[in-house]
């Protein structure tokens, strides 16, 4: 189980470009604006914003399909929080449980096949195509590192372009973690760092939605 403090915003295209420029300066850039290299499959829970269930990025490895099942539970909604440069977001505390699926599991294959043959699913699952940039802030050094770097204290900072059915969304997400139970301290340090570094203002709590909320709103 992993505990995290998170906030996320849906972005307009101009804000997305501003933030993408900051990622580029830190050696993270989208390779192609028209492709989505990753697919996640979410359980379609309409009007349920306290739970997220997904099959994470299934891949064929040595002829065997492998993936993870991830379950996220909302533990506390901390409400709106103000950040530097006139930005504001909804802050939540989540717990995430991650399980390796059985290789070539027939139930996973059935879910993926729904989208392979039908384009999109009318039933219980939804495919989200994603292209994501990930950086991390190592809060012990107050320094940006690559998304692949393993750290105990800090935050993942992700800029994502994703598609639900035929609609494209843009989002900025912050996911803070701590092995020393300093999530709040690390979160505050991260948001201060980001909004002192990125020249953007006006992100507000109306734009601040979790993935379960984004999925629910898409189908309402």
- Written as one string, the DSSP assignment of the chain is -EEEEEEEEE--HHHHHHHHHHHHHTT---S-TT---EEEEEE--TT--SEEEEEEEEEEETTEEEEEEEEEEEEEEEEEEEETTTEEEEEEEEEEEEEEPPTT-HHHHHHHHHHHHHSS-SSSEEEEEEEEEEEEEETTTTEEEETT---SEEEEEEEEEEEETTEEEEEEEEEEEESSS-HHHHHHHHHHHHHHHS------GGGB--HHHHHHHHH-
* pTM check: above 0.85: yes
Domains assigned to the chain:
2-219 (2.40.320.10)
Q: 154-205 pLDDT, tens per residue?
A: 999 999 999 999 899 999 999 999 999 999 999 999 999 999 999 899 999 9
Average pLDDT over residues 67-82: 94
């Amino acid at each position: 189980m992993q505990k995290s403090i998170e906030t996320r915003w849906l972005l307009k295209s101009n804000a997305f470009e501003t933030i993408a420029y900051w990622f580029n300066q830190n050696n993270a850039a989208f390779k192609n604006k028209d492709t989505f290299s990753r697919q996640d499959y979410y359980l379609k829970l309409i009007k349920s914003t306290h739970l997220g269930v997904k099959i994470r990025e299934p891949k064929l490895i040595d002829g065997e399909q492998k993936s993870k099942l991830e379950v996220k539970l909302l533990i506390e909604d901390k409400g709106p929080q103000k950040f530097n440069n006139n930005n504001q977001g909804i802050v939540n505390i989540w717990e995430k449980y991650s399980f390796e699926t059985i290789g070539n599991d027939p139930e996973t294959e059935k879910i993926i096949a729904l989208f392979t043959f039908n384009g999109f699913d009318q039933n219980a699952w939804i495919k989200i195509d994603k292209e994501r940039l990930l950086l991390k802030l190592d809060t012990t050094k107050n320094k940006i590192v690559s998304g692949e770097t393993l750290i105990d204290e800090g935050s993942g900072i992700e800029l994502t372009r994703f598609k639900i059915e035929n609609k494209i969304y843009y989002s900025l997400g912050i996911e803070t973690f701590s092995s020393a139970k300093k999530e709040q301290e690390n979160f505050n340090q991260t948001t201060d760092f980001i909004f002192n570094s990125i020249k953007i203002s006006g992100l507000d709590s109306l734009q601040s939605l979790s993935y379960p909320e984004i999925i629910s709103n898409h189908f309402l």
